[in-house]
Structure 1
Amino acid sequence: PVYSLYGKTKKPTPEMLKNVDVLVFDIQDVGTRYYTYIYTMAYAMEAAKENGIPFMVLDRPNPQGGKHIEGPILEPEYASFVGLYPIPLKHGMTIGELALLFNKEFDIDADLTVVKMKHWKRKMDFDDTRLPFVLPSPNMPTVESTFVYPATGLIEGTNISEGRGTTKPFELIGAPFIKSTELEEALNSLNLPGVTFRAASFTPTFSKHQGTLCHGVQLYVTDREKFEAVKTGLSLIKTIHDLYPEDFEFLSTGSFDKLAGNGWIRTKIKNGASIEDIIDSYEKPLQQFSKTRKKYLIY
């Protein structure tokens, strides 16, 4: 039998696990806090513990590499399926390393085994592995998608299209009210490291602004090593907010705060705070997490 863990049921039930000897997790993650596969793993680990079943993780590469960590640490009151635990937006860990961290730091206490990869090094992004990239979900079609996702995934919490319904999800962003060349110039003038922006127009076939011509930019990561995804994403949102204050909106669902992992980033953007001020506000917790993270690194 096949059971979905992406609908009403996110955690395996005792009935699902009745004849299971060992629960094996073998799924490709993308290295960003709000990608839900890591919480499916955490819920499955909880279920394995509760039902007395050993849990095994077959480790996989982090497509973005394992060196860089960025962004705010999720605050517990903003926990959801797009962010269950206080980890940074870009965590720089493999799925096996995250399993070890979740198990110990967040008291899951499952009977956990992580099967290590051979030959993987922290400095390697997915292209360095020479493995074929199989899209882990429909809107994560390429290795490039995984690199821009920590930046433009935040756009999901606004009325801007994050490129769903195009062939370049998360690489194309825009809305009917944006002037593409104006936004291109404003973003390129920031001289953000490792990224450049090109004016672009597109019509999403589904999702936000379906069937409506949108104007915005396409992100090109020109240097993966220097690219600062979270800073880029925040700069993108702040620039659009400042250029189009009458039209830009954070969605009333509160989804931006869940994706950001806090409520204060949205407030700071609304109040005109600088990107440097926002980054400074999460730098200390990020350093603290960095120390915790080191205990669970396998490679």
Structure 2
Amino acid sequence: MALVDQEHMKEAGYRLSEATPGDFIALLKPRVMSLVVFTAFVGMAMAPATPNPLLALIAIAAIAVGAGASGALNMWYDADIDAVMSRTKGRPVPSGRVTPGEALAFGLVLSALSVGVLGLMANWVAGALLAFTIFFYAVIYTMWLKRSTPQNIVIGGAAGALPPVVGWAAVTGTVSVESLILFLIIFLWTPPHFWALALFKSADYERAGIPMLPNVAGHAATKKQIFIYALLLAASGLLPVWAGFASLAYGAVAAALGVGFVWYSWRVLQMPESDQAMKPAKALFGYSLLYLFVLFTALLADRLAASLGFGFGS
């Protein structure tokens, strides 16, 4: 009977889904989600109040689902350009394993679920911030900025920088200077991180017609912008000490990481145009991932040490 129904559906023009659970997990962009969850958790941990552990777990889960919803909506809308880029052509939608309608419905349902759960279980300031984050990434960045301006990553980076603000708000119900400093660090980290990738993937972006900075302004201008942002990022990493919510021990770690980021960016700046291997750009891209993880881990360790009575933190 089931086989007969399937044949009738095919004859009527319906396409049976070939998606597996793994395909829907891929729609969530798990690697991006893991970074979102980690920075949101640090935002919660740095907050002055101590949340109920169960509510904190629910809040983190809601933020993770919201991040995954953003990824699914991004893959739904970007299926056309993903199909022509070597880095993304194997994604579930351009490969045909998930239909665009399935990806859209999946993303919308998860968006509503994540915002509703966070608002009801934590507070509606956090819920509203999560809703804005999803909207900014899916609509402002994906549908508008990504295809229209070489500053797409700069402005669109706000979406990726908001998770620690959402985490902080989930605990306190407010947005503070401290949470905005965490936002600023990720906001300034995003352009050099993605422009390093764009330097050695410029042919991909060229095929897709995405106006990434190297394709519009050239490699020389991109390398200068990377170096400028590296300097700003290195300085921003020290702001938690200046604002009084991190110790001098954290400051030493942040300073060392910042010097490393500037050094890798300097190597990119000095990279000759004839360097087809793009080794300095690839090295910076790899270091940038390590930088953000270690910096936020240092913040977390610093807060734990302060809570136990060690260190110079507040």
TM-score, L = length of structure 2: 0.27
Kindly indicate which of the two structures has a greater share of residues assigned to helix: 2
Q: Which has the higher strand share?
A: 1
Q: TM-score, normalised by structure 1?
A: 0.28
